[in-house]
Amino acid sequence: MSASAVSPARTSRGSYSDPRESPATEVLRTGNGVRDLNPATQLSLAGGLALTAVLFGPLCMVIVVTICLVLSALAGRARPFLTLFTRTILILGIAIVALQTFFVPGTTELFSWWLFTATAEGLAAGIQIASRVLGVGASVILLIQILNLDRLVLDMEQRGMSPRATYVITATVNIIPQMRKQMGVIMDAQKSRGVETDSNLWVRTQAFVPTIGPLILNSIMGVEEKALTLESRGFSATGTRTSLRYVEDRPRDKRLRVLIVCALVAIIGVRIVLWIL
């Protein structure tokens, strides 16, 4: 029908009509190669990297973190990747190494400091655990950098996920800033009464319920009308739905996913062989 329908049509598309059949639908694209991968590809990529880091030791972790950094850089997200990585995962990793070194009992004493004794066993355990945390953490942060939520939800729809499931995800993301805003208004009123800075813990605790209670009750009260509004807009109507946008799942994506699965099989194989030896 249209010029855009080049790739072979998928036969099973859940309950959504094929958006590629109409020139009135637009592709959701960012213009960056990594970020424009199909969300399923991005998920399997991050999942594969995380699993690799879990299965192997510190050396492999360094490789995984490097790959994540390079991919983030290719996605134009090197700086946010590094910021988030150092502020959260890296700090936790260092803490784990330190705590394990000092608290895991062992026979090989490295050194003593104040009340604490560092052991070689603890250090070894710490490095093992921390490398797992760093590897998985880096993969998760990579995913945060490259996965776009709109594209994810659209892809889920295209793969036949129930509209109710995708509704929950999108609505959750949308509602949080609104609630924050409503909360800010209530908080300002509390602040003007000096509650926030009151030194008495009981006073501050008592401020909590009247602040959040009405917010919750009002929101629950609106649920009925919202449900009926959605029903009126045909949310529960049966039959095919239309998408005005779509996310590409190019042959390239499919090849990449096959590659990731093959690599994972090989990696797990190597791991098993290493365990047996």
Partner 1 sequence: MDSVTLTDVTYTYPGSEGPVLRDINLSIRAGEFCSIIGPNGAGKTTLCAAIRGFVPKFYKGDFEGTVRIKGEDIADASIGEIARDVGFVFQNPFTQMSGITASVYDELAFGLRNLGVPPAQIRERVEGMLELAGITAFRDRDPFQLSGGQQQRVALAAMLIMEQDVIVIDEPTSQLDPQSTDDVFALIEAAQKQGRTIVLVEHKMGHVARYSDRVVLMGEGRIQAIGTPADVFTDPAAASHGITLPESIELAQRLAGHGVTVPGSPLTVPALIGALSGGSHHVAD
Partner 2 sequence: MSKLFAIKQDFTLMAILLIPIAVAVNFVGGSLALALKLPLYLDSIGTFIVAMLAGPWVGGVTGFLSLLGVSITDPTSLPWAVLAALVGVVVGTLARGKMFLTWGRIISSIGIIVLVSVALVVIMRFLFFGGFTTSGSSLVAAAMMTAGMPFWFAQVLSSIVSEIPDKTITVLIAVFVIRSISTRTLLKFGTGSIFAEYRTARKAKKKAAATPVAAGTTN
- Rule CB under 8 A: which residues touch partner 2? 84, 88-89, 91-92, 95-96, 99-100, 103, 115-116, 125-126, 129, 133, 136-137, 140-141, 144, 164, 167-169, 171-172, 174-176, 178-180, 183, 187, 195-196, 201, 204-205, 207-209, 211-213, 215-217, 219-221, 223-224, 226-227, 230-231, 235-236
Q: How far is the CB of 35 from partner 2 (least distance, A)?
A: 16
Nearer to partner 1, 107 or 232 (CB): 232
The region of 67-75, 131-139, 193-201, 238-246 touching partner 1 under the rule CB under 8 A is 238-246
Counting DSSP H helices and E strands in the chain, the numbers are 9, 4
Per CB under 8 A, does 47 bind partner 1? no
Listing DSSP states for 59-75 in one string gives: HHHHHHHHHHHHHHHHT
User: What stretch of H or E contains 5?
Assistant: none
Go through the chain and tell me how many residues it has. Answer: 277
Q: Which helix (H) or strand (E) is 16 found in, with range? A: none
**How many Cα atoms sit within 13 Å of 166 on the Cβ side?**
17
Both structure tokens of 140:
């998760």
Q: Does residue 174 touch partner 1 according to CB under 8 A?
A: yes
CB of 49 to partner 1, least distance (A): 31
Binder to partner 1 among 7, 23, 196, 206 (CB under 8 A)?
Answer: 23
- Side-chain-side CA neighbours of residue 89 (13 Å): 21
Find the helix or strand (DSSP H, E) in which 186 lies: helix 163-192
